[in-house]
Amino acid sequence: MMSDQHTQSVKLFFRTFENHLSRIRDDGKDANQAYRAQVLLSQIALFEKAILEDGGGGGATGDIQSFVELIDIEAFGDLAAWAVDQTAVTGIRAVHFLDQSGEWHCLAGEGILPMRLRAGEWLRSGLVAQLQQAKNMFITYLFGQPRLVLQFEEGETAVDRGKMALFFARLLPIFVTDRIGETNTYAADRAVIAKDPHFCDLLGLIEKAANKDVSILLEGESGTGKEVIANFIHRHSPRAGKPIVAVNCAAIPAGLIESELFGHEKGAFTNAYNRQIGRVEEADGGTLFLDEIGEMPFAMQAKLLRFLQLHEFHRVGGKNKISVDVRIVAATNRHLKDQVAKGEFREDLYYRLSVMPFVIPPLRERIDDIAALSEFFFDKYGRAFGFAPLKIDPAIYQHLVAYAFPGNVRELENLIQNILVIAQGGNLSVAHLPPNIRELTPVNLPERAVGSPKRVWRPRSSYGRNFKWRRGRSTAAAAAGNPELERLLSQTPKNNDELKLLKQEIQNYASDLTLLVEHRFLKDLLDRAEGSMPKASTLGNINRTLLYKMIDRTKHLDD
């Protein structure tokens, strides 16, 4: 145990160290050091606890010094070496990193990675997860791609493993700023976009089932790509040379679905002037894809069951039996077992359809696929819209993987088109994302504690990035009558550190000025609307959700 005097000395050091970090953060002389200082400040309580509980066996001074040295680290390899060297506190045995060539390397320490990296329990969606195969390993994502694996010592560690993994996740964007160029398609089929290990394993099972002539049932939420999978099954089946015919059971009126599937004879009903070949006959020799099978009327289910048993049917109004050879693939966004239990779907038909059942996971459970699909849609619609080669800010992917995508792949596809239309090609940035995604807290930045005082330092302010003077207008004219702006623009930096400091001040001033403009706008708008939010939304031509958010972020100016 530490003596009381030793304990007080350690606490005094950490208070001094904390004040030192705060000065580095707020001085703004070096943006990277300010960022690291802020991250360390968010973790310093853990470090202090680890030292105090270490027992004070003479190594405490060395451990404290190691945290001071962290401020001066310039390369990520040095950070990895530091973490392994301080394994008594960090608990890290090895640090594995995915380089630009797409190869995993052990940057520091000794350890072996599993052949397949599968995320198990997420500490923070799209950012850090515990590996499913190894509970002592945590994988970190950057810009939608897995880039870092921390391998911890077995047993207890001085610092919580999950918190240490999140600590490294916050530091990673300081040292690594680019995404990896890679192949995003499933190895066996370039028409399917798949990077997620779980989804790739599922595709492997589906590919095996496709080779055998059995019925397949695909279940999953709307927009997960069930029709894409149905086409994948057809391409990998012996029937690939024959047609695949899709029928949306939810889109056909109950009175017409039998005719649509099996066809009808001339005169079978009013306006049946000619014989009509049904979709089942069209698919002869190939695959019949029954989408939204759960919406099929109960009476029609019995007729479909009979066809599946005998592979023969009668056209509506016909007397001759017609035999066909088709493979059935059905899909639904409902839980058919629940419908069977409620008496809404025939049990015997369910078992006929689900010889090989598969559940297609939602996009929120396929984190690795979000960035890959986004790249595909950016390229596809960038070409379709006639835009020049796109330059995409990697931070866009970090925001996308933090979003839950309730509409799954279909929502992502529509979102990419929305971004391209708003940006009109060229350089795409986070500013082009919809407000509900743009205003998510970026998962790779430290969060500000609720109720904490306003800080001078701001991590990578988006206002600062976009703060520009209009062409043709002098800076003197722009600053006229504004003492604060005149003071900022009258300064001439003598070196790079002074330039960074001045730029940071201008960025902060621009951010505060923007809030003031928003506050004046809202005050005038609400006065004209007589306090009515619906009326204010209409008068200001502004979404009501965004209106509430603007009010919330400017309410401190009412004081």
Question: Taking the mean position of all CA atoms in its chain, how far away is CA 270?
Answer: 53
Give the pairing of strands 244-248 and 287-291.
parallel
Cα–Cα distance for residue pair 253/268, rounded to 1 Å: 17
Q: Which of the four CATH numbers 2.60.120, 3.80.30, 1.25.40, 1.10.10 does domain 478-558 have?
A: 1.10.10
Q: What pLDDT sits at residue 444?
A: 43
Q: What pLDDT sits at residue 1?
A: 47
Q: What pLDDT sits at residue 465?
A: 33
- The DSSP code sequence of 1-47 is ---HHHHHHHHHHHHHHHHHHHHHHHH-S-HHHHHHHHHHHHHHHHH
Secondary structure in 3-state letters for 268-328: CCCCCCCCEECHHHHCCCCEEEEECHHHCCHHHHHHHHHHHHHCEEECECCCCEEECCCEE
Cα–Cα distance for residue pair 386/425, rounded to 1 Å: 9
Q: What pLDDT sits at residue 473?
A: 42
Q: What pLDDT sits at residue 479?
A: 54
Q: Which long-range contacts (CB under 8 A, 24 or more apart) does 259-263 make?
A: 259/316, 261/304, 262/303, 262/307, 262/313, 262/314, 262/315, 262/316, 263/315, 263/316
Please report, in tens digits, the pLDDT of each residue of the chain (559 residues total): 445 655 665 566 667 667 766 776 676 666 656 666 666 666 666 666 655 555 544 444 444 555 555 555 667 787 788 788 877 777 888 999 888 777 888 888 888 888 778 777 888 877 888 888 788 899 988 887 888 899 888 876 656 788 888 888 877 877 777 777 665 666 566 778 888 888 888 999 999 999 999 999 999 999 999 999 999 999 999 999 999 999 999 888 887 888 889 888 887 777 777 878 888 999 999 999 999 999 998 889 999 999 998 888 888 888 888 899 999 999 999 999 999 998 999 999 999 999 999 999 999 888 888 888 998 899 889 888 888 788 888 888 888 888 889 999 999 999 999 999 988 888 888 888 888 887 765 544 434 333 433 333 333 333 333 333 333 444 455 456 677 777 777 788 888 777 877 777 787 777 778 888 888 888 888 888 887 877 887 888 877 777 777 787 787 776 5
- Fold (topology level) of 368-438: Helicase, Ruva Protein; domain 3 (1.10.8)
User: What are the sequence ranges of the domains in the chain?
Assistant: 4-175, 215-354, 368-438, 478-558
Neighbours of 300 (CB within 10 A): 15
The enclosing H or E element of 338 equals helix 336-341
Residue 330: beta bridge partners? 217, 290
**Cα-based distances in Å from 49 to 54, 56, 169, 529, 530:** 8, 12, 21, 54, 54
Q: What pLDDT sits at residue 222?
A: 92
Radius of gyration over every alpha carbon of the chain, rounded to an integer in angstroms: 31
Question: Taking the mean position of all CA atoms in its chain, how far away is CA 534?
Answer: 32
Q: What pLDDT sits at residue 68?
A: 54
Q: Which of 195, 173, 198, 175 is nearest to 185 (CA)?
A: 195
Cα–Cα distance for residue pair 63/50, rounded to 1 Å: 10
The pair of structure tokens assigned to 83 is 């973490």
**DSSP character at residue 267:** T
Cα–Cα distance for residue pair 64/177, rounded to 1 Å: 29
Task: Evaluate if pTM is beyond 0.75.
Answer: no
Report domain 215-354's class. alpha beta
